[in-house]
Structure 1
Amino acid sequence: MNSYDVAIIGSGPGGYVAAIRCAQLGMKTAIIEKYAVLGGTCLNVGCIPSKALLDSSHHYEDAVKHFEEHGIDIPGDIKVNLKQMIARKQSVVDQTTGGIDYLMKKNKIDVYQGLGSFKDATHITIKGNKEEEIEAKNIIIATGSKPSSLPFINIDKERIITSTEALKLTEIPKHLIVIGGGVIGLELGQVYKRLGAEVTVIEYMDRIIPTMDAGLSKELNKVLKKQKFSINTSHKVKSVERKGKEVIVKADNKKGEEVEFKGDYCLVSVGRRPYTDGLNAEAAGVKLNDRGQVEVNEHLQTNVSNIYAIGDVVKGAMLAHKASEEGALVAEVIAGQKPHIDYNLIPGVVYTWPEVASVGKTEEQLKEAGVDYKAGQFPMRALGRSRASMDLDGFVKILADKNTDEILGVHMIGARAADMIAEAVVAMEFRASAEDISRMSHAHPTFAEATKEAALAATEDRALHI
């Protein structure tokens, strides 16, 4: 039987980063993955393939709607080759997962393919092509999450689908009904909207992206409606039925009236659930909470001292970069170091266009906590760079403490917001004030100038370009 200092169950962005960091710190490391390919949800059926399709569909939309205005004439009809688009997406996935294989070899990490389950607190049974057992002083659970559903929905993976199937459709839907107005539903909804589908979003809460700042929800709602999305908030779905090639969704609106939606595909995107199926956690004595999450302390240690858990399978936002930070943290804890994560400073991003990004507290949270704050906001359309690229929608909003001027939250919607949010994270990590950002030179012309202008607006209500 092979023995290790650390064994990790799951090879997503949490698991593989934990493995690399453990190896860097001199520990003999193994990683176990039940699928034939490393990388977990993010690399295979999540972040990477969805962004590949978002980029491809964005190019198509630009060609159809904007090339002529830019002075680019293309003879003949512009057509979508969905088969090639999906093939390119897969090649991006293959390159990325292949990179993980390389990193495992480079760091001398043993890879086991098969379903890893606890025999006890230090032994893992691996059921793959053959059954084997390994021993580890420390074990990290990084088994991730799976798409959630509603109890009355029968996901047939043909017409009633999850995000996994939406990433490999063989035809463009005529009318895609999206249940759930969160990140995944809106991103995939926008992919198929650009390619010609009619898209209807049904959201239970009173606004889309309900966990983000209300100002972002309102602006994204406005932009998507301009893009001809049908958005139905405060709607409670009560049945989803398939009849041949038609899907019928019935919901109650906020007045309690029944509304019916008909489409040829229905994407169920109501969140994700922790995945511990087959883990046999009870054999090791590991406790799960009533939401199916593995219970951990501030060091991500379970109630069994040598077993840790990270990523989507524990509490907190289900984000790839959060899982990666936790993977590195646990490796360093095992090595005797004293790392920390400030969960308030883990940014959230929606990769629609315009992109939406956020870090820190929302206005609603500050109001609820009774914090005396001030806000500075600057519209993207006032920037020269926005006019040059025709990306006029959105804004940057900075929330700062009214007395100390310390930045408490930054919320943005606009072109390249996913990249721009990093400046806000750095500023808040070092407890910068709005004035600090307002006095920093930002290159001109850039989208990032909106951050400086919003900081000026928050500091002295003196944005320069509006």
Structure 2
Amino acid sequence: MKSYDVAIIGSGPGGYVAAIRCAQLGMKTAIIEKYSTLGGTCLNVGCIPSKALLSSSHHYEEATKHFEEHGIEIPGDIKVNLEKMIGRKQAVVDQTTGGIDFLMKKNNIDVFEGLGSFKDATHITIEGKDAQEIEAKKIIIATGSKPSTLPFITLDKERVITSTEALKLKEIPKHLIIIGGGVIGLELGQVYRRLGAEVTVIEYMDRILPTMDAGLSKELNKVFKKAKCKMMLSHKVQSVERHGDEVIVKAENKKGEVVEFKGDYCLVSVGRKPYTAGLNLDAAGVAMNDRGQVEVNDHLQTSVDNIYAIGDVIKGAMLAHKAEEEGVFVAETLAGQKPHIDYNLIPGVVYTWPEVAAVGKTEEELKAANVEYKVGQFPFRALGRARASGDLDGFVKILADKTTDEVLGVHMIGARCADLIAEAVVAMEFRASAEDISRMSHAHPTFAEAVKEAALAATEDRALHV
């Protein structure tokens, strides 16, 4: 039987990063993955493939709608080759997961393919091509999550689908009905709307992106409506039925009326839930909470001293970069170091176009906590760089403490916000004031100038370009 200092179950962003950091710190490390490729949901059927399709569909939309205004004329009709687009997506995934294989070899990490389950607190059985058992002093659970559904919905994975199937459709839907106005539904909805599908988004809450700042939700809703997506807010889905190639969704609006929607595909994107099936946690004595999450303390340690858990399988936002931070945190904790994670400073991003990004507190949260704050906001359309590229939608909003001027939250929607949010994270990590940001030189012309201008607006209401 092989013995290790650390064994990690699950090879998503949390698991494989934890494995690399453990190996860097001198631990003999093993990683167990039940699928034939490493990388988990994020690399295989989540973050990476969805961004590949978002990029491809964005190119198509630019070519069909915006090239002409830039003086670019393409003779003949521009057509979508969906098979080739999906094939490129898969090539990106294969290259990325292959990169993880390389990193495992580079760091001398043993990879086991098969379903890992606890025999006891220090032994893991692996059911794969060959049944085997390994021993580890420390074990990290990093098994991630899988798509949630509603109890009355039958996912046939052909017409009533999850994000996994939506990433590999063989045809562009005529009418894609999306249940859930969160990140996944909006990103995939935008992909297929660009490619020509009619798109209807049905959301239970009164706004899309209900966990983000209300201003961002309102602005992105306008963008989707401008793209002729039907945004059915405050609608409670009652039933989803498939009849041949047709899917019928019935939902109740806030007036109590039942509304019927007919489409050829229905994407169920109502969130994700922790994935612990097959782990046999009882054998190790690992406790779970009533939400199906593995219980951990502030050190990400489970109810069993030598077993830790990270990522989607524990409490907190289900984000790849959150899992990565936790993977490093546990590895360094095991090495006797004193790492830290500030969960308030883990940004959230929606990769639609315009992109949406945020870090820190929302206005709603500050009001609920009775914190006095001031707001500085600056529109992208006032930027020379935005006008030059034609990306006019969106704004940057900075929330700062009314007394101390410390930045408490930054919320943005616009071009390249997924990258711009890092500036806000750095500023808040060092407890910058809005005035600190306003006094930093930002290159001109750039999208980042919107951050400086919003900081100026928050400091003394003296944005320069509005």
TM-score by length of 2: 1.00
The separation in 2 between residues aligned to 1:227 and 1:116, in whole angstroms, is 45
Give, as a single letter, the amino acid of the residue that structure 1 aligns with 2:378: F
SS at match of 1:393: coil
CA offsets per residue over residues 198-247 of structure 1, 9 Å max, x none?
00000001100000000000000011101111001110001000000000
| 1:20-31 alignment, distance < 5 Å | 20-31=20-31
The separation in 1 between residues aligned to 2:269 and 2:111, in whole angstroms, is 32
| 1:425-436 alignment, distance < 5 Å | 425-436=425-436
The separation in 2 between residues aligned to 1:346 and 1:163, in whole angstroms, is 24
Q: Does residue 100 in structure 1 map to residue 100 in structure 2?
A: yes
The separation in 2 between residues aligned to 1:79 and 1:298, in whole angstroms, is 53
- What is the Cα deviation at residue 381 of structure 1? 0.2
| 1:166-315 alignment, distance < 5 Å | 166-315=166-315
SS at match of 1:266: strand
- What is the Cα deviation at residue 462 of structure 1? 0.3
Partner of 1:371: 371
Give, as a single letter, the amino acid of the residue that structure 1 aligns with 2:301: Q
Segments of structure 1 that go 5 or more residues without pairing to the other structure are none
The separation in 2 between residues aligned to 1:160 and 1:335, in whole angstroms, is 46
CA offsets per residue over residues 320-362 of structure 1, 9 Å max, x none?
0000000000000011111010000000000000000000000
CA offsets per residue over residues 265-309 of structure 1, 9 Å max, x none?
000000000000000001000001001000000110001000000
Segments of structure 2 that go 5 or more residues without pairing to the other structure are none
The separation in 2 between residues aligned to 1:251 and 1:72, in whole angstroms, is 44
Partner of 1:329: 329
CA offsets per residue over residues 57-110 of structure 1, 9 Å max, x none?
000000000001100110100000000000000000000000000000000000
| 1:404-419 alignment, distance < 5 Å | 404-419=404-419
Partner of 2:163: 163
| 1:314-393 alignment, distance < 5 Å | 314-393=314-393
CA offsets per residue over residues 21-76 of structure 1, 9 Å max, x none?
00000000000000000000000000000000000000000000000110011010
SS at match of 1:14: helix
The separation in 2 between residues aligned to 1:68 and 1:312, in whole angstroms, is 44
Give, as a single letter, the amino acid of the residue that structure 2 aligns with 1:383: L
SS at match of 1:316: coil
The separation in 1 between residues aligned to 2:222 and 2:172, in whole angstroms, is 25
SS at match of 2:13: coil
Partner of 2:18: 18
- What is the Cα deviation at residue 13 of structure 1? 0.1
SS at match of 1:120: coil
- What is the Cα deviation at residue 130 of structure 1? 1.2
Give, as a single letter, the amino acid of the residue that structure 1 aligns with 2:163: S
SS at match of 2:267: strand
The separation in 2 between residues aligned to 1:55 and 1:356, in whole angstroms, is 15
Partner of 1:461: 461
The separation in 2 between residues aligned to 1:282 and 1:358, in whole angstroms, is 38
Partner of 1:135: 135
Give, as a single letter, the amino acid of the residue that structure 1 aligns with 2:220: L
The separation in 1 between residues aligned to 2:130 and 2:223, in whole angstroms, is 53
SS at match of 1:212: coil
The separation in 2 between residues aligned to 1:299 and 1:340, in whole angstroms, is 9
- What is the Cα deviation at residue 16 of structure 1? 0.0
Q: Does residue 147 in structure 1 map to residue 147 in structure 2?
A: yes
Give, as a single letter, the amino acid of the residue that structure 1 aligns with 2:154: N
Partner of 1:450: 450
The separation in 2 between residues aligned to 1:210 and 1:378, in whole angstroms, is 22
The separation in 2 between residues aligned to 1:146 and 1:275, in whole angstroms, is 6
SS at match of 1:126: strand
The separation in 1 between residues aligned to 2:95 and 2:37, in whole angstroms, is 11
Give, as a single letter, the amino acid of the residue that structure 2 aligns with 1:127: E
Aligned length: 466
SS at match of 1:69: helix
The separation in 1 between residues aligned to 2:67 and 2:209, in whole angstroms, is 31
Q: Does residue 110 in structure 1 map to residue 104 in structure 2?
A: no
SS at match of 1:251: strand
- What is the Cα deviation at residue 153 of structure 1? 0.3
Give, as a single letter, the amino acid of the residue that structure 2 aligns with 1:374: K
The separation in 1 between residues aligned to 2:380 and 2:228, in whole angstroms, is 21
- What is the Cα deviation at residue 15 of structure 1? 0.1
Partner of 1:424: 424
Partner of 2:35: 35
Partner of 2:122: 122
Partner of 2:64: 64
Identical amino acids, percent of aligned pairs: 85
The separation in 2 between residues aligned to 1:148 and 1:127, in whole angstroms, is 26
The separation in 1 between residues aligned to 2:372 and 2:425, in whole angstroms, is 21
Query: Over aligned residues, Cα RMSD in angstroms?
Result: 0.3
| Runs of 4 or more above 4 Å deviation | none
The separation in 1 between residues aligned to 2:223 and 2:174, in whole angstroms, is 21
The separation in 2 between residues aligned to 1:196 and 1:248, in whole angstroms, is 20
